[in-house]
Amino acid sequence: MKAYTTVIIGAGAAGLFAAKHALAGGSVLIVDHAKAVGEKIRISGGGRCNFTNIHAGPANFISGNRHFAKSALARYTPTDFIALVRAHGIAFHEKTLGQLFCDGKATQIINLLLEECRGAELRLGTGVLAVSAGFELDLSDGTTVKARNLVIATGGKSIPKMGATDFGYRIARQFGLAVTETRPGLVPLSFGPQDLEWMVPLAGVALPVRATANGVSFEEAALFTHRGLSGPAILQVSNYWREGDAVTIETLPGALPRLQDLRKREPRKSVANAVGQLIPSRLADAILAKTPYPGNMADQSDKMLMALAETLTLRLKPAGTEGYRTAEVTLGGVSTDELDSRTMEAKRVPGLYFIGEVVDVTGWLGGYNFQWAWASAFAAGTAIGAGLK
């Protein structure tokens, strides 16, 4: 039986980055049942990897304990990872809202991580069949290994076709740790037949909106699909939506002054044709077919324009989400009550660590979840690397 200082299960963003720092404390083995490392990195950001967000902070994360992520995020910041990206000569750019992407391919980030954790042993296509209380791991390659420290970086249940499983949650429960309710996050919303009747003909229509669920709003783009609604604004509010709740979609944010200006510019146009200059005409027609406004824009009083602004605000009740199949993240996970926020170590199981998406910390869309992967991996890896555990 071969013994290692640290065994890391999961060769994704968090696992590889933890290995980089844990190497300072001794030997490291990384195990993953996938045949390639960092598959979620490879597909992220349209293949360019939205590797962090310059605005990342505790307010951008959802957790049962809103204070838990503060320590890790403060000790490893976006600036720190940006410096590492620059040191590897990777060109990048900022898109909207502080999102940073590689100019080239996402594989540049994978190569960065592999270079940084050089010295760690990597076993791909190797599953973990069993884990004993003494951190003895039976592997699918027929070997058994032993670890002083065991780091669980297996992610959540999102995108199962890429190999996502509930393995990390099962390990947590095996060692007596609580796992909070898990559900799909950053996921498109689906609707019932009554709504789809008018939505499906709009498939492919996109526009900037203000979307709100349970009092939390995001101003980004929404996209109509054959199943309902997607796009950044919808993915963001999906994290706050719960079954049975309604969502509000302002198709024309700040509508009243914009409609008043439109009345001055286009007094002779019909309401539907005029509104079609501010939002996609197919959407304007669909909304105003249900609530028509007779006459031209010049005929609309301020009171009528206020009513029109309300009409352009959709209040919808989703039937559900598209589930883990298309969800970018998993909400919930290993309870933060069980973990030391400074090291990510289980309080009641010395030497057992949970990092990244498997923990009940979920970021917004836009690079935040990668920043949590880097920060939580740094917290665990440096604790191990410094020989503190």
Report yes or no: 255 and 209 within 8 Å, Cβ to Cβ: no
- Across residues 171-178, what is the average pLDDT? 98
- pLDDT for 387: 75
101-143 pLDDT, tens digit per residue, is 999 999 999 999 999 999 999 999 999 999 999 999 999 999 9
Q: How confident is the model at residue 389 (pLDDT cuts 50, 70, 90)?
A: very low
* All domains of the chain in start order, with CATH: 2-183+328-385 (3.50.50.60), 189-321 (2.40.30.10)
When pLDDT is averaged across residues 249-269 and rounded to a whole number, the result is 97
Output the pLDDT for position 186. 98
Angle at the Cα of 135 from the Cα atoms of 130 and 138, rounded to 5 degrees? 30
Residues with Cβ within 8 Å of residue 96, at least 6 apart in sequence: 220
Given a contact cutoff of 8 angstroms between Cβ atoms, the answer to whether 106 and 48 are in contact is yes
Q: Which of 376, 370, 368 is nearest to 8 (CA)?
A: 376
Q: What is the spatial distance between Cα 14 and Cα 223, in angstroms, rounded to a whole number?
A: 31
C-beta of residue 116 within 8 angstroms of C-beta of residue 378: no
**Residue 248 parent element (H or E):** strand 247-250
Q: Hey, which residues does 221 pair with through a beta bridge? A: 208
Residue 259: exposure state from Cβ atoms within 10 A (0-12, 13-18, ≥19)? buried
Q: What is the dihedral of CA 358, 362, 363, 366, to 10 degrees?
A: 60
- Mean pLDDT confidence for 156-179: 96
Residue the block writes with tokens 């996209």: 223
Mean pLDDT of 345-355: 98
Distance CA 140, CA 51 (A): 32
| Cα–Cα distance measured from residue 59 to residue 45, given in angstroms and rounded to the nearest whole number | 22
**pLDDT for residue 230:** 98
Tell me if 343 sits within 8 A of 18, measured CB to CB.
Answer: no
What's the whole-number average pLDDT of the chain? 97
Q: Which amino acid is at 360?
A: D
Q: State mean pLDDT over 240-245.
A: 96
The CA-atom distances, in angstroms, between 120 and each of 111, 123, 380 are 14, 10, 16
pLDDT at residue 307 above 60? yes
Q: How far apart are CA 207 and CA 275, in angstroms?
A: 13
What is the average per-residue pLDDT within 61-87? 98
Token pair for 132:
């004993």
How many Cα atoms occupy the beta-carbon half-sphere of 251 within 13 Å?
29
Query: Tokens 């947590």 label which residue?
Result: 172
**Tokens 């959540």 correspond to what residue?**
156
Q: Are 44 and 50 in contact (CB under 8 A)?
A: yes
Chain segment 1-38, per-residue pLDDT in tens: 999 999 999 999 999 999 999 999 999 999 999 999 99
Residue 188 phi/psi, 5-degree rounding, is -60, 150
> By the 8 A CB rule, do 114 and 15 touch?
no
Cβ–Cβ < 8 Å for 116, 20: yes
Q: From CA 55, how far away is CA 159, in angstroms rounded? A: 26
Residue 333 tokens, joined: 């996970």
pLDDT of 369 above 90: yes
Contact 44, 134 (CB under 8 A): no
